[in-house]
């Protein structure tokens, strides 16, 4: 491929004037554009990825002959973040201006003013930058077909963050619709890290002729070996790197893969603060002083944590140490948008030394000055860590630098495994995704609002979207019936249908009011209901300054007078009025709310298996700190060190109770589910289980009677995922929560109604009532199926649990001990920590208990 | 509240006296007057689900009426009352009766067999049912008690009403529970809503203030029994 003639003179001159040479992957993308091929570009941040995505469109637009009629949208750019769409609008302005192109690029998000939106509808910009929710709105608009008739290209940015959830389902459906309006439309995906490119290609692609088999052999063009096509447990991208700008064409995929250069090898270190690793914990509090010194020695550091609570905690701790007055900022999803923008702007100006942040900064706007990424507590997955490391040093040729700070001993093993995986270029495998039916219901209603459809045509259109490629006709019919009449066995709503078939056989929305109601609620995707956190007190608080937003549940258990940390400060909770929580500053108070909420990411399957392997292979121990080596050594001596494919289960008495502890490394969600189900079984066996704790690594169940003589294979039999799970789930709040989300997304209940008056007192009519009634009278209803599927994947990790139960059958190694084992210490210590006592006496009791426990295990 | 005494009956109900009449507050939400063998339920809101479909095209499960009937029939089987009083808002809207599925209609009609069925009307069903059996009244009286849908402000000794859908919220540590409840000061009584799709209004809401001169007792509906909750334990939503 030759650079010189690949670009029109105006473009190559512009590159030259900037002192740049076009990168191979940029030219490859231009070539894809010329050939009219769909393409997924995977390139590290800082590699000119965005420009590579837009270059083909800019060239096409610059070569467009002048015409009299106004053209429609040429290129649609879809970003997961509103802020990113606005940022790209600004970044595109430079090449457009400097090359003197007659191209209009404008953003359109939920924040765009009505006047601009109306103008955009009349005079479409050449390039429209928007979000999946706005695209869903377009799909529900009568003018959509005409508006997108000239559409030539759709660019999906941060594709890795888009595809694996309900938003991705909705976007894939939107793309299928756009393809219908403009058959020549090309799809382009941009991504920094992809766990498995084949799965993203399948999601992004147009499945015209039915579903393609995934993971089939690929043909490589122009030499180089293809990446490994197999999915789990890991995808090896780096061990067989194709040359820079290499293009791989699959015989089965409609989306070509373009790989950018790998960039410099990142430098990843694991910090062992003071040579010691704590027994248990989640906050890495012990290492804070050293983390502070590292921040001081670097230019700009991103300090990643896994939850909002950890972010608040680390921010407080760092400021306690901040004698130098370093500009250390806080950034997470609950902070008010303007506060986040302020931090981002200060970052861009290079005024910030460190930002403590959650996944909100995993992607998005580029900052050149970040030279260090710190991960506090284990990263839980190699792919996420690679993505986070990519945030440092956006100059491609310099290595990114990252420091992992483990908060406990098992985390030490996990961090070591993650660092090895990153250096070896191994990423976590992700499961393939099947499109959610509640999302499909929302989409079908939207299409009916836009224009009439025929059932069979719609079925084909939907199956052209990757996540729905295997949609069964029966499920499709069920969804259409749900959209129309609610899908009830009792056919009493036939006369109130929301969508109706006409005499021409085409389905359309019932009336204008139905359309209006749908448009007001479209795009409602799974975000938890949020309340505004405002400054204000007293009996009749008035709307004061907004500090941020928090999930509905956050304040539900608080009493007025309770204190908590939020946005880096201590607040007193005053009252919850409607959707506003009123608080006042309480700088002198200690926060009473426990500042730890657990990791929201489960440990990846791939890292878990590496940790198991590392424990068994003593040659790997040398890379670990002395106290961790000693700990592993004592475990081998006192209990058993299992092989990689065994499940170690220990039973021992402690105090007046008997414990059963096993180390399955399947993540907190799967472990909690498993513990619930085992507890039910133990109860039936008359063991009298009293309680359990579960973390990412292990489960600890305690009871009144010894569990030493149980038939363990029977206890872990896979049939617990049948009736036991069903029975437990039906009563579980997890199902109710999942049902509420599905009910909102599918349009069964609505968040907003047109012209709804605000009555003084709201009688709450909760989805729990609907759930209970539906469960008793039609347990196989579509939305209960959706909720069950969501709870099984999202909150319970049932699939992973099933894999584990199958794996450990016949491989349970039982160690019947007379006292606590070294491995059991961390999870024994968590027993008291589930509910943080928060007062000095409680802390002392805990500290004493901790000392006794450690002495018992190590003596 | 000082004059108020209560005890838990064998079946988990709360036995009290309302203005001198012995009464049991059942954990189903029904009121049982043993002396008169009368059972009273409030705010059934039959066909609330279908009213959303008819008005907004919002397809809530159409099973709320039969769910409410299931509960009602269980109570009738347990108590076999001579008089059954519906305390208003029995239908969610005036057209609800016309939308009844045939089998649900037959089940409602059967409620009147062998007993007096009294429909006190409420704001949602001001005209009462047209084709279903039973007497349609504005108010009813038994002994010293007056039964009406909407409670009147100020002292109303002997009044038994519904309309407000009372609910109590109680917290303990970080846990919180919100349940439908009866509210009484021993002279008057507000019943919880009985219907399957009826929500609750927190009894700390201002709407309850005009009814009670002294802090009343809340009797929250629990699983299998009623829990007496003092005023101080109540929390706003």
SS3 sequence, A845-856? HHHHHHHHHHHH
Interface check A784 vs B, CB under 8 A: no
Interface contact B102, partner A, CB < 8 A: no
pLDDT in tens, A525-581: 545 456 778 888 755 556 677 877 776 556 655 667 777 777 777 888 887 766 678
Q: Report which of residues B110 and A210 the model is more confident about.
A: B110
Asked whether A261 and A43 are in contact (CB, 8 A), the reply is yes
Mean local confidence (pLDDT), A375-385: 85
Q: Test B63 with A510 for CB contact under 8 angstroms.
A: no
Residue B95 confidence (pLDDT):
94
Longest dimension (CA), chain B: 51
> Which of left, alpha, beta for A574 (phi over 0: left; psi -120 to 50: alpha)?
alpha
Q: What is the mean pLDDT of residues A369-379?
A: 88
Judged by DSSP in three states, A652 sits in: strand
Q: A239 versus A91: which is more confidently predicted?
A: A91
- Interface mutation vs chain A, best among B55, B56, B57, most A CBs within 10 Å: B57
Q: Do B58 and A770 touch (CB under 8 A)?
A: no
**A773 vs B63, B199, B206: nearest CB:** B63
- Residue B67 is encoded by which pair of tokens? 């769910």
For residues B160 and B152, give the distance between their C-alpha atoms in angstroms, rounded to a whole number: 10
pLDDT value for B84: 98
Q: pLDDT-based confidence at B133, cuts 50/70/90?
A: very high
The closest CB to that of A770, out of B60, B174, B207, belongs to: B60
Contact (Cβ atoms closer than 8 angstroms) between residue A27 and residue A7: yes
pLDDT tens-digit profile of A287-346? 999 999 999 999 889 999 988 888 888 999 999 999 999 999 998 877 777 788 888 888
Structure tokens that stand for A460 in this block: 């084909």
A540 reaches B (C-beta below 8 A): no
- CB < 8 Å to B63, chain A: 488, 490, 773-774, 776-778
Tell me which of B44 and A266 has the higher pLDDT: B44
CA distances from A286 to A212, A274, A276, B202 (A): 51, 9, 9, 46
All residues of chain B having their beta carbon less than 8 Å from the beta carbon of residue A778 are 61, 63
* Average pLDDT score, chain A: 81
Q: Which residue has the higher pLDDT, A184 or A541?
A: A184
Put simply, whether B107 touches A (Cβ < 8 Å) is: no
Residue found by looking up tokens 């289960």 in the block: A649
The tens digit of pLDDT for each residue in B152-182 reads 999 999 999 999 999 998 765 545 678 899 9
Closest to B204 measured CA to CA, from B176, B172, B178: B178
Sign of CA dihedral A519, A523, A525, A531: negative
Predicted pLDDT at A248 = 45
What pLDDT is stored for residue A840 in this prediction? Answer: 34
CA-based nearest residue in chain B for residue A777: B63
In percent, the amount of chain B with pLDDT more than 90 equals 76
Give the tens place of pLDDT for each residue, A740-785. 889 989 989 876 655 443 333 333 457 888 999 999 999 999 999 9
Q: pLDDT class for B224, splitting at 50, 70, 90?
A: confident
Separation CA A614–CA A417 (nearest Å): 8
CA contacts within 13 A on the Cβ side of A341: 9
Q: Can you read off the two tokens belonging to residue A358?
A: 């959650």
- The verdict on A766 touching B (C-beta cutoff 8 Å) is yes
A17: its two tokens: 């004037």
Model confidence, pTM: 0.78
| Dihedrals phi, psi of A105, to nearest 5 degrees | -120, 125
Nearest CB among A497, A769, A778 relative to B197 is that of: A769
Chain A positions touching B198 (Cβ under 8 A) are 765, 769
Torsion over CA: A417, A423, A424, A430 (sign): positive
CB contact under 8 A, A514 and B57: yes
Q: Do A492 and B59 touch (CB under 8 A)?
A: no
Tell me which chain B residue has its CA closest to the CA of residue A483: B59
CA B4, CA B229: separation in Å to the nearest integer?
A: 13
pLDDT of residue A753: 57
Higher pLDDT, B65 or A511: B65
The CB-side HSE value for A658 (13 A sphere, CA atoms) comes to 15
Q: Say what the pLDDT of residue A849 is.
A: 47
Contacts of B174 in chain A (CB under 8 A): 557, 835
- Give me the mean pLDDT over the A588-596 stretch: 56
Q: What is the mean pLDDT of residues B14-29?
A: 95
Q: Choose the mutation target among A478, A494, A749, A764 for the interface with B, i.e. most B CBs under 10 Å.
A: A764
Contact in structure between A550 and A500 (CB atoms under 8 Å): no
Residue pairs spanning A and B at CB distance below 8 A: 97
User: Is residue A490 within 8 angstroms of chain B, CB to CB?
Assistant: yes
Contact status of A498 with chain B (Cβ, < 8 Å): yes
Token reading at A209: 């002729």
Both ends of chain B: CA-CA distance in Å?
A: 24
Q: CB distance B199–A763 less than 8 Å?
A: yes
Statement: residue A847 has pLDDT above 60: no
Nearest alpha-carbon partner for A176 in A148, A217, A199? A148
On whether the CB atoms of residues A417 and A285 are closer than 8 A, the answer is no
Q: Is the pLDDT assigned to residue A117 strictly greater than 80? A: yes
Rounded-to-integer distance, Cα B207 and Cα A286, Å = 53
Q: Given this model, what pLDDT does residue A569 score?
A: 78
Q: Residue B182 pairs with which residues in a beta bridge?
A: B219
User: Residue A180: which of A460, A433, A419 has the closest Cα?
Assistant: A460
């Amino acid at each position: 491929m030759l650079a010189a003639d690949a670009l029109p003179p105006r473009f190559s001159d512009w590159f030259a004037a900037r002192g740049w040479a076009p990168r191979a992957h940029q030219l490859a993308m231009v070539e894809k554009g010329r050939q009219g091929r769909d393409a997924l570009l995977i390139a590290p941040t800082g590699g000119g990825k965005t420009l590579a995505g837009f270059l083909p469109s800019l060239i096409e637009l610059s070569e467009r002959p002048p015409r009299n009629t106004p053209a429609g949208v040429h290129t649609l750019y879809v970003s997961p973040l509103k802020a990113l769409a606005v940022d790209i609008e600004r970044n595109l302005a430079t090449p457009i201006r400097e090359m003197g192109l007659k191209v209009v690029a404008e953003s359109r998000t939920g924040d765009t003013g009505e006047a601009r939106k109306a103008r955009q509808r009349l005079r479409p910009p050449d390039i429209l930058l928007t979000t999946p929710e706005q695209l869903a709105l377009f799909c529900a608009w009568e003018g959509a077909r005409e508006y997108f008739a000239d559409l030539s290209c759709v660019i999906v940015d941060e594709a890795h963050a888009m595809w694996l959830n309900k938003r991705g389902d909705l976007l894939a459906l939107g793309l299928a619709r756009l393809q219908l309006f403009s058959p020549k439309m090309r799809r382009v995906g941009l991504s920094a890290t992809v766990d498995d490119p084949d799965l993203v290609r399948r999601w992004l692609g147009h499945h015209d002729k039915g579903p393609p088999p995934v993971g089939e052999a690929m043909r490589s063009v122009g030499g180089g070996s293809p990446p490994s096509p197999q999915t789990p447990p890991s995808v090896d991208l780096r061990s067989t790197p194709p040359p820079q700008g290499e293009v791989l064409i699959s015989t089965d995929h409609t989306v070509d893969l373009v790989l950018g250069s790998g960039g410099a090898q990142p430098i990843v270190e694991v910090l062992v603060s003071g040579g010691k690793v704590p027994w248990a914990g989640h906050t890495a509090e012990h290492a804070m002083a050293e983390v502070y010194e590292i921040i001081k020695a670097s230019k700009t550091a991103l300090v990643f944590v896994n939850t909002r609570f950890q972010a608040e905690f680390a921010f407080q701790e760092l400021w306690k140490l901040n004698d130098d007055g370093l500009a250390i900022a806080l950034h997470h999803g609950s902070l008010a948008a303007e506060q986040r923008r302020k931090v981002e702007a200060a970052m861009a100006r290079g005024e910030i030394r460190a930002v403590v942040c959650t996944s909100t900064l995993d992607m998005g706007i580029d900052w050149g000055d970040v030279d260090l990424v710190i991960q506090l507590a284990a990263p839980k997955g190699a792919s996420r860590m690679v993505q986070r490391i990519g945030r440092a040093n956006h100059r491609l040729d310099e290595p990114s630098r990252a420091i992992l700070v483990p908060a406990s001993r098992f985390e030490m093993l996990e961090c070591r495994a993650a660092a090895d995986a990153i250096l070896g270029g191994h990423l976590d495998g992700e499961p393939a995704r099947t499109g959610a039916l509640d999302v499909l219901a929302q989409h079908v209603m939207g299409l009916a609002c836009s224009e009439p459809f025929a059932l069979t045509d719609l079925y084909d259109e939907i199956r052209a979207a990757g996540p729905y490629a295997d949609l069964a006709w029966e499920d499709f019919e069920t969804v259409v019936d749900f959209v129309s009449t609610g899908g009830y066995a009792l056919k009493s709503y036939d006369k109130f249908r929301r969508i109706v078939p006409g005499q021409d056989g085409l389905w359309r929305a019932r009336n204008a009011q139905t359309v209006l109601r749908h448009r007001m609620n479209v795009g409602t995707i799974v975000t938890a209901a949020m309340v505004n956190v405002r400054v204000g007190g007293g009996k009749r608080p008035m709307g004061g300054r907004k500090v941020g937003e928090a999930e509905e549940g956050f304040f539900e258990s608080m009493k007025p007078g309770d204190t908590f940390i939020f946005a880096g400060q201590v607040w007193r909770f005053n009252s919850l009025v409607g959707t506003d929580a009123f608080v006042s500053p309480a700088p002198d108070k200690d926060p009473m709310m426990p500042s730890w909420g657990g990791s929201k990411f489960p440990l990846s399957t791939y890292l878990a298996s590496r940790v198991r392997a590392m424990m068994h292979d003593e040659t790997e121990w040398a890379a670990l700190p002395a106290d961790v080596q000693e700990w592993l050594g004592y475990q081998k001596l006192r209990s058993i060190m299992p092989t990689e494919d065994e499940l170690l289960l220990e039973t021992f008495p402690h105090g007046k109770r008997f414990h059963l502890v096993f180390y399955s490394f399947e993540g907190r969600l799967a472990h909690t589910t498993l513990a619930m189900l085992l507890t039910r079984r133990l109860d039936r066996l008359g063991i009298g289980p009293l309680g359990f704790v579960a973390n990412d690594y292990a489960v600890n169940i305690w009871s009144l009677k010894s569990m030493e003589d149980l038939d363990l294979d029977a206890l872990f039999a896979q049939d617990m995922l049948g009736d036991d799970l069903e029975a437990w789930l039906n009563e579980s709040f997890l199902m109710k929560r999942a049902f509420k989300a599905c009910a909102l997304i599918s349009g069964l209940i609505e968040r907003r109604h047109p012209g709804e008056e605000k009555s003084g007192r709201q009688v709450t009519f909760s989805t729990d009532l609907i759930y209970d009634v539906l469960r008793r009278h039609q347990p196989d209803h579509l939305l209960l199926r959706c909720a069950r599927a969501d709870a099984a994947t999202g909150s319970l990790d049932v699939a992973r649990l099933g894999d584990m139960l199958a794996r450990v059958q016949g491989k349970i190694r039982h160690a019947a001990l007379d006292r606590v084992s070294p491995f059991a210490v961390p999870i024994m210590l968590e027993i008291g920590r589930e509910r943080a006592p928060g007062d000095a006496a409680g802390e002392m009791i805990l500290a004493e208990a901790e000392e006794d426990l450690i002495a018992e295990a190590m003596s | 509240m000082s004059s108020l005494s209560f005890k838990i009956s064998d079946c988990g109900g709360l036995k009290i006296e309302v203005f001198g009449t012995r009464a049991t507050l059942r954990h189903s939400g029904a009121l049982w007057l043993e002396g008169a063998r009368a059972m009273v339920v409030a705010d059934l809101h039959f066909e609330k689900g279908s009213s959303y479909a008819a008005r907004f095209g919002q397809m809530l499960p159409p099973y709320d009426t039969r769910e409410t009937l299931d509960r009602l029939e269980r109570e009738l089987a347990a108590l076999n009352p001579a008089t059954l009083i519906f305390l208003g808002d029995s239908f969610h809207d005036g057209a609800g009766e016309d939308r009844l599925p045939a089998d649900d209609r037959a089940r409602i009609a059967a409620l009147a067999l062998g007993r007096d069925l009294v429909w006190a009307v409420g704001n949602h069903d001001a005209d009462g049912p047209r084709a279903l059996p039973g007497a349609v009244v504005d108010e009813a009286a038994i002994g010293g008690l007056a039964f009406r849908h909407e409670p009147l402000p100020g002292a109303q000794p002997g009044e038994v009403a519904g309309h407000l859908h009372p609910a109590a919220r109680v917290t303990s540590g970080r846990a919180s529970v919100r349940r439908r409840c009866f509210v009484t000061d021993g002279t008057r009584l507000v019943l919880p809503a009985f219907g399957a799709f009826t929500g609750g209004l927190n009894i700390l809401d201002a709407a309850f203030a005009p009814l009670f001169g002294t802090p009343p007792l809340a009797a929250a509906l629990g699983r299998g029994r009623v829990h007496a909750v003092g005023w101080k334990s109540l929390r706003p939503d």
